[in-house]
Structure 1
Amino acid sequence: MEQHDASILSYKRLSASHLSSNNQPSKSASNKISNMTSNMTSSIAMETIGSTSEKLPEKRNDGKSLTDVISLGELEENTLHYRGDVDLGMKVANESLGLEVDEATNKKLLRKADMFICTMMSVVYAVQYMDKQTNSYASIMGLREDLNMVGNQYSWVGTSFYLGYMIFEIPSSLALQRFPIAKTSGIFILLWGFVLCMTCLPKTYAGFIVTRTILGILESAVTPAFMLLTSQWYKREEQLLRTSIWSASAGLGAILGALIAYGLTIRNAETLPMVSWRLLYVVLGVITIALGLVFLVHVPDTPATAWFLTKQERLLTVERIRTNKQGFGNRHFKMDQLKEVFMDIRTYLYFCLMVAAEIPNGGIGSFGSIMLKDMGFSTTKALLMGMPFGAVEFGGIVLVGYIAQRYQRRMYAAMFSYCLNIFSGCLLAFPASTHAQLAGYYLQGMAVIGWICFISCVSSNTAGHTKKVVTSAICMIGYCVGNLIGPQTFIATEAPHYRSAKIAIVVCFVICLALTIALYYVNVRANKLRDAKNEKLDPSFINSEFADLTDFQNPEFRYSL
């Protein structure tokens, strides 16, 4: 006999006559269930011990694949079900069902998640941002001259990275669903660190473009992985602040990266093993490889396997995040959830928002140091002047994230962010004053707030693991499209002012504000309709929070605002 989960069950559907008027099973129904499960358990045990010739059916009576027992009410007569199509946390959820998490324990578990998970994600994200910014630093350290870049060739350096990112976004997201999240992410980090080191080798523009494209491919898994990890470890009301923290760490990466680039630039070139901009890639690549090794051994794939939690703490952690109604994940790709992705208007709003928000990011990310140098600063001064941008990004994002979480109004935070970005974009685009342009440049560091609000929306407001993975992938494709377009708005013939690019920044943030208001309206309306209907899941639906239901399938789900 094939080895199956010990929880294989076969129930007869409870008829309405077995239920009392308050929808609770009657005494006779309870006795029937008890006798049925007892007899069946004995039957399964005897079958496992004494029978090798008889195999369990691989299909239900209706021809569908076998799935786990979730609800007594949904099962058909003489139908076998086994664990295999529900959440990875279902086994632990069965053990934790009924446990209570008091306030002191809740705070203790939250501190552990912050210490071991959020801290590691923050460090990785800071290093990833440094890796992305190497082009911006290297562009004023001799990269363009050494590789004989002319015209708009440098614009394509930034575009090529996001081209690779976009091409591999769906495969990397599917890999995160199919394989353990932390281990898969760790391997991607190791590989991108190696490729970053190899970026010092190309002697031609074409070779350099190839390495940047491969680097984009390998970095495509990080943000989707962190979105999934955040939804695994934190309650929905906690996710925005934690997403803000690990995203804001990009600001710390900008500061540290600028300091490393500055240190290499002021060194006597004769004392370095290679030119400074090439050595910059090696230094950051080695840091990334070391971090990838730590990530592999440090981060667990789910809270149910966390090495830093006791068995009791694992059960309590599962119980703590039960209210998310999202579980830990499911490694089966479900076509019904895929169809639902494209039936959900939020998918299209997320995509358009990502494109509009990332056009400014793609341009400033690639041309930030060049813009500072064109304002009249020297190479070394321009590198140092980039540091306040990182400080504004980190401090502003964490502050706004904290306020938004305290009042549970992330959409208001996004609207505030885009209003601020419209103002800062105008400062950057229209005044002739260098000081006004510099202020506008620094305030662009706050642009990430809106982006954070929306990726936290994907984590919090998208249930069903296949749906969450695909929606995240679509969002990140939008992210890539915006970053592909961004550098192309900086036209070489418009240097040093790049007026068209700066006006495009303002227009994009106006679009973002309009789309944010639309998304807020969609979620408010959906919640009101659900409240009016007041539908509930079948009372016999046990552990529905770990049944891998989508937000459409679960009438008790409410969208975070």
Structure 2
Amino acid sequence: MSGISKVEDAASQHHTDEADVEMKKNLAVQGKGGDLAARIIGDQQIEVTEEDNKRIRRKTDKRILSVLVWVYFLQILDKSVLGYGAVWGLREDCNLSGNEYSMVSSISAIAQLVWLPFSSWLIVKVPHRILMPCLVLGWGTAQTCMAACNDYGGLLATRFLLGLFEAACLPLFSVITSQWYRRAEQPMRVACWYGTNGLATMFAAGVSYGFGQVNGAIASWRILFLFAGLITVLTAPVVYWVMDNDVSSARFLSEKEKLQAIERLRANQTGTGSRDFKWGQALEAVIEPKTWLFVGMALCLNVTAMVTNTFGPIIVGGFGFEPAKTSLLNIPFGAVQLLIIFPSSYLAHRFRIKSVFLEAILMPVLAGAIMLYLLDRSRTPPLLAAYYMLAFLFGGNPLIVSWMISNIGGATKKSVIMSLYNIGASAGNIIGPLLFNSDDAPYYRPGLEKTMGITCALIAIVGLQVAWLFFLNKRQERRRVKNGKPAKLRDLSMEHRYVSNREEGETGAPLGENAFKDLTDSKNDEFVYVY
């Protein structure tokens, strides 16, 4: 055993030495190939008061967060109207049979899998002000064209294109949030744009009910698709007009405010973005265990999420309700999403921990699936309660996303991990609908069995990630001691009020100078992992 221990210690020491050498090499290259902010702020330490911090945050919310909220709302709306289209005759009008409807739902996720390797490169290389409106225009056009489909092939083609353009949405929004906000602010900002899941569900349910009352030459589901698609298309030029690329080029900030905005992000140790795609960072992202634990979370969570998006209205219809009432009964489902997303994200912000609240909201999801599995279909009130309990799941994604972006340094590494996370989400979106077969109606027991198992797996993966991050923090402490810095650092990025980074290590080594060098978390000895 002692021999094995010595080998492990030697391997760990070798990894640490390599990381330290790499860090010093990166620090020697001032601004060259580094963070965009480093080229502006250089070695300056800018004075930022709490009032400055609040003012800049408010401005950022008005300009950047408002765009994220509206565009993500449209993305969820365009994705979720398929389920309501099925309630109002899409399957019959397009002659779908067997698993064809499930495949139409899954094909957008398959498209995302095809395109996601390119998404990480696009997020780094293409300015966000250009990339986002192009994506919005693309998926809006695909959604609009779905209204003209008359068969299985047409639906497959348009849904494939919709998925292709939506592929970069979640990683792009996550990267933008991490580049504009302090780590303490990120959970609530992610909750704001991801929380539109609930709003979009409620809105789609209400609008589908309204269009369902129209008895004209055009089918209700076609009007619904046209409505959602055209709003999205018209949004694209607005996004281009309002959006900014990064903090260093923000048009809504003065030159002094740009420096202050950069300075207030120093404690994040995750930078504000870079246009250099670094293959070394990409490789590091792929080989890290924490990457694949986050991907596993995305896979498990989105299996169940896609079940509710695609089969939710159909499952409720199986309780014996007519199409109009089925649409209306999904409004509370969206309300539950909102009621869970914001409190859980606030608690994660308030207590500076995400994993505990993530585990807590998964318990009602598991209980709801068990109830749907066991209850007779004649017991409508408890069945609806069980179905609404599944909506707790939607509080999980914003917690996971904010947890993930808080634990990644390096622009390329962040974009690659977010794209891999979205690959996991896409795989879950593919698998979810395929777990349910129309022949199993109205109980869908085989699908519910698998859903329960996957939820249990998700609970276990969260626990494993906490253990791994704890190990990484211990390794960082050993590196800091070796480099003449305190073993324990106060994580200023998680403070609720702005606190300056002007501290010094035990031997006078300055802290906070690595923040804008585009170092990855493993190469930056001052990086503190959060749970």
In the alignment, which of 340, 354, 358 is matched to residue 410 of structure 1?
354
- Which residue number in structure 2 is paired with residue 193 of structure 1? 140
SS of the counterpart of 2:97? coil
> Is the CA contact (8 Å cut-off) linking 2:30 and 2:38 kept in structure 1?
no
- Which residue number in structure 2 is paired with residue 503 of structure 1? 449
Provide the C-alpha distance between the structure 2 equivalents of 1:198 and 1:533, rounded to a whole number of angstroms: 56
Structure 2 residue 314 is the aligned partner of structure 1 residue 366: no
Structure 2 residue 428 is the aligned partner of structure 1 residue 482: yes
- Which residue number in structure 1 is paired with residue 196 of structure 2? 249
Query: Which letter maps to 2:295?
Result: F
Structure 2 residue 524 is the aligned partner of structure 1 residue 554: yes
Q: For structure 2, list consecutive stretches of 5 or more residues without a partner in the other structure.
A: 1-22, 486-507
Give 1:416 shift. 0.6
| Structure 1 residues 518-537: aligned runs within 5 Å | 518-535=464-481, 536=483
Provide the C-alpha distance between the structure 1 equivalents of 2:30 and 2:271, rounded to a whole number of angstroms: 18
Q: Deviations over 1:177-231 (max 9, x none)?
A: 1110232011110111111111112222111111101110011111111101100
SS of the counterpart of 1:557? coil
SS of the counterpart of 1:544? coil
Bigger Rg, which one: 1
Provide the C-alpha distance between the structure 2 equivalents of 1:544 and 1:237, rounded to a whole number of angstroms: 19
Provide the C-alpha distance between the structure 1 equivalents of 2:479 and 2:124, rounded to a whole number of angstroms: 33
In the alignment, which of 309, 326, 329 is matched to residue 382 of structure 1?
326
> Is the CA contact (8 Å cut-off) linking 1:262 and 1:384 kept in structure 2?
yes
Provide the C-alpha distance between the structure 2 equivalents of 1:74 and 1:457, rounded to a whole number of angstroms: 27
> Is the CA contact (8 Å cut-off) linking 1:427 and 1:439 kept in structure 2?
no
- Which residue number in structure 2 is paired with residue 123 of structure 1? 70
In the alignment, which of 263, 272, 283 is matched to residue 319 of structure 1?
263
Query: Which letter maps to 1:280?
Result: L
- Name the % identity: 29
Provide the C-alpha distance between the structure 2 equivalents of 1:517 and 1:264, rounded to a whole number of angstroms: 45
Give 1:314 shift. 1.2
Give 1:541 shift. 9.0
Provide the C-alpha distance between the structure 2 equivalents of 1:455 and 1:523, rounded to a whole number of angstroms: 15
Provide the C-alpha distance between the structure 1 equivalents of 2:238 and 2:389, rounded to a whole number of angstroms: 34
Give 1:172 shift. 2.1
Q: 1:533 to 1:178 in 2, by over 3 A?
A: closer
Provide the C-alpha distance between the structure 1 equivalents of 2:32 and 2:232, rounded to a whole number of angstroms: 36
SS of the counterpart of 2:457? helix
| Structure 1 residues 183-222: aligned runs within 5 Å | 183-222=130-169
> Is the CA contact (8 Å cut-off) linking 2:38 and 2:516 kept in structure 1?
yes
Q: 1:398 to 1:73 in 2, by over 3 A?
A: closer
- Which residue number in structure 1 is paired with residue 180 of structure 2? 233
Give 1:532 shift. 4.5
Give 1:149 shift. 0.8
Q: 1:542 to 1:517 in 2, by over 3 A?
A: closer
Provide the C-alpha distance between the structure 2 equivalents of 1:178 and 1:115, rounded to a whole number of angstroms: 25
> Is the CA contact (8 Å cut-off) linking 1:192 and 1:218 kept in structure 2?
yes
In the alignment, which of 63, 87, 90 is matched to residue 35 of structure 2?
87
Give 1:335 shift. 2.1
Query: Which letter maps to 2:472?
Result: A
Looking at both structures, which has the greater relative contact order when contacts are Cα pairs under 8 Å and sequence separation is at least 6?
2
| Structure 1 residues 392-541: aligned runs within 5 Å | 392-432=336-376, 433-535=379-481, 536=483, 539=509
- When normalised by structure 1's length, the TM-score is 0.83
- Which residue number in structure 2 is paired with residue 176 of structure 1? 123
Q: 1:91 to 1:73 in 2, by over 3 A?
A: closer
| Structure 1 residues 136-147: aligned runs within 5 Å | 136-147=83-94
Give 1:548 shift. 0.6
Query: Which letter maps to 2:158?
Result: T
Provide the C-alpha distance between the structure 2 equivalents of 1:519 and 1:553, rounded to a whole number of angstroms: 20
Give 1:404 shift. 1.2
Q: Deviations over 1:374-417 (max 9, x none)?
A: 11111011111111111110121101111110001111111111
Provide the C-alpha distance between the structure 2 equivalents of 1:253 and 1:531, rounded to a whole number of angstroms: 44
Give 1:245 shift. 1.6
Give 1:307 shift. 1.7
SS of the counterpart of 1:461? coil
- Which residue number in structure 2 is paired with residue 51 of structure 1? none
Provide the C-alpha distance between the structure 1 equivalents of 2:398 and 2:115, rounded to a whole number of angstroms: 22
Give 1:540 shift. 7.6
- Which residue number in structure 1 is paired with residue 248 of structure 2? 304
Q: For structure 1, list consecutive stretches of 5 or more residues without a partner in the other structure.
A: 1-69, 76-80
| Structure 1 residues 252-267: aligned runs within 5 Å | 252-267=199-214
Q: Deviations over 1:252-279 (max 9, x none)?
A: 1111111111111012325xxx211111
> Is the CA contact (8 Å cut-off) linking 1:90 and 1:543 kept in structure 2?
no
SS of the counterpart of 2:47? coil
> Is the CA contact (8 Å cut-off) linking 1:413 and 1:449 kept in structure 2?
no
Give 1:461 shift. 0.5
Query: Which letter maps to 1:143?
Result: L
In the alignment, which of 149, 159, 163 is matched to residue 96 of structure 2?
149
Q: Deviations over 1:433-487 (max 9, x none)?
A: 2222211211211202222222112211011111111111111101011110100
- Which residue number in structure 2 is paired with residue 31 of structure 1? none
Provide the C-alpha distance between the structure 2 equivalents of 1:397 and 1:452, rounded to a whole number of angstroms: 7
Provide the C-alpha distance between the structure 1 equivalents of 2:185 and 2:469, rounded to a whole number of angstroms: 19
Q: 1:267 to 1:347 in 2, by over 3 A?
A: same
Q: 283-292 vs 333-342, which deviates more?
A: 333-342
In the alignment, which of 226, 249, 272 is matched to residue 328 of structure 1?
272
Provide the C-alpha distance between the structure 1 equivalents of 2:480 and 2:518, rounded to a whole number of angstroms: 21
Instruction: Give the CA RMSD over aligned residues.
Output: 1.9
> Is the CA contact (8 Å cut-off) linking 1:255 and 1:387 kept in structure 2?
yes
Q: 1:528 to 1:288 in 2, by over 3 A?
A: same
In the alignment, which of 43, 51, 61 is matched to residue 114 of structure 1?
61
Provide the C-alpha distance between the structure 1 equivalents of 2:283 and 2:172, rounded to a whole number of angstroms: 22
SS of the counterpart of 2:375? coil
Give 1:242 shift. 1.0
Query: Which letter maps to 1:384?
Result: L
Q: 1:360 to 1:110 in 2, by over 3 A?
A: same
Q: 99-108 vs 402-411, which deviates more?
A: 99-108
Q: 1:342 to 1:176 in 2, by over 3 A?
A: closer
> Is the CA contact (8 Å cut-off) linking 1:250 and 1:390 kept in structure 2?
yes
Provide the C-alpha distance between the structure 1 equivalents of 2:383 and 2:120, rounded to a whole number of angstroms: 39
Provide the C-alpha distance between the structure 1 equivalents of 2:354 and 2:459, rounded to a whole number of angstroms: 13
Query: Which letter maps to 1:91?
Result: R
Give 1:427 shift. 2.0
SS of the counterpart of 2:185? helix
Provide the C-alpha distance between the structure 1 equivalents of 2:194 and 2:26, rounded to a whole number of angstroms: 43
> Is the CA contact (8 Å cut-off) linking 2:303 and 2:431 kept in structure 1?
yes
Aligned residues: 483
Provide the C-alpha distance between the structure 2 equivalents of 1:524 and 1:436, rounded to a whole number of angstroms: 41
Q: 1:521 to 1:82 in 2, by over 3 A?
A: closer
Provide the C-alpha distance between the structure 1 equivalents of 2:242 and 2:177, rounded to a whole number of angstroms: 16
SS of the counterpart of 2:42? helix
> Is the CA contact (8 Å cut-off) linking 2:435 and 2:447 kept in structure 1?
yes
> Is the CA contact (8 Å cut-off) linking 2:359 and 2:462 kept in structure 1?
yes
- When normalised by structure 2's length, the TM-score is 0.87
